[in-house]
Amino acid sequence: MKLNFELKLGAVIGIVITIMSVTSFFWVPYDYNLMDYENRFTSPSTKHLLGTDIFGRDIFSRIMAGGRNSLILAVCTVAGAATAGSILGMIAGYLQGITGEIIMRLIDTLSSFPGIVLALLLVAIMDNGQFTIFIALLILFIPSYTRIMRTGAIQYKDASFIQAEKITGAHFFRITFIHILPNLFSSLVSASVIGLSNAILAEAAMSYLGMGIQPPEPSWGRMLSESQAYIYTAPWCALAPGMFIMLTVVAFHLLGEGLRRRYGG
């Protein structure tokens, strides 16, 4: 089947940004926390591809490291939410009845919490850091995956191949996770890829407000927040993280939509 345009464009942009971010584990052009006050607000050049910030730190190096931090947090969030949501959704969709109602009412309760309010609550209870924002995003993302998997479980629970398994006395977990789950895999993958874009955007928003990844580790959202006061004197400081946030979110969204169109997820 010929790849659609959305899938190809999203894959190209996503691969470039992922390679750049993974490379930062082993190499960056400069130490991303190295302050050079003699080179503050240096405009983009061959020496500093994206210029330097208020402290003379190389912005491209910080973009690379910030992408690494954002991707790690996004992947962990989506993986955890997809796993928990799949388990809850399969149980709620297959069993239904009072068990399904209890699960879905709990999911509705989680969905009612605004993200910022939940993050503030967790910061007050726990600590202001990466683990706190991970827990907040995990709680926020579980409901969407639960609903997706519940809908799929309801769709397949009365299918002929499931009825055949029931006749043979197959256990509930075998029916749901061995026979129903594989049929929902394409939907889960496309939702997870789109979830990466949502998680990166949410992390950037939280970091922008000071509730996400904390210094000295760089974050695209915090870089954007720190540079907004210099948008007219040194616009590259804000444009660089803003551009990479936009490109990454668009890339994973296009990739997820492309997968959904290709596989009918």
CA-to-CA separations, 209 to 54, 56, 174, 212, 216, in angstroms, rounded: 19, 23, 45, 8, 16
For the ranges 128-132, 157-161, 190-194, the one whose mean pLDDT is highest: 190-194
The closest alpha carbon to 121, from 140, 97, 148, 142, belongs to 140
CA-CA-CA-CA dihedral for 32, 33, 36, 37, to nearest 10: 130
What does the pLDDT read at residue 265?
Answer: 54
Q: What is the pLDDT, as a whole number, of residue 22? A: 94
pLDDT grade for 173, boundaries at 50, 70 and 90: confident
Q: What is the pLDDT of residue 51?
A: 94
The per-residue pLDDT for 82 is 94
pLDDT top residue among 22 and 94: 22
Mean pLDDT of 236-254: 94
Can you tell me the mean pLDDT for 61-74? 94
Q: Whole-prediction pTM value?
A: 0.89
198 CA to centre of own chain: 5
Arithmetic mean of pLDDT over the chain: 88
191: Cβ contacts below 8 Å, ≥ 6 apart: 82, 144, 145, 148, 256, 265
Cβ neighbours of residue 158 under 8 Å, at least 6 residues apart? none
> Tell me, what's the pLDDT at 1?
44
**What are the CB-based long-range contacts (under 8 Å, 24+) for 110-116?**
110/139, 110/140, 110/142, 110/143, 111/143, 113/139, 113/140, 115/140, 115/202, 115/205, 115/206, 116/206, 116/209
More confident residue, 33 or 1: 33
Q: Where are the alpha helices (DSSP H) in 41-58?
A: none
Asked if pLDDT for residue 163 goes beyond 90, the answer is no
* CATH assignment, 5-23+46-263: 1.10.3720.10
Question: CA 83 to CA 235: how far, in whole Å?
Answer: 41
Per-residue model confidence as pLDDT tens digits over 102-120: 999 999 888 887 766 777 7
Instruction: Read off the pLDDT of each residue in 151-175 and give the average, rounded to a whole number.
Output: 82
Return the C-alpha torsion angle 213, 22, 225, 49, nearest 10. 150
Q: Is the peptide bond before 235 cis (omega within 30 degrees of 0)?
A: no
Would you list the domain boundaries of the chain? 5-23+46-263
Whether residue 109 contacts residue 156, with contact meaning beta carbons closer than 8 Å, is answered with no
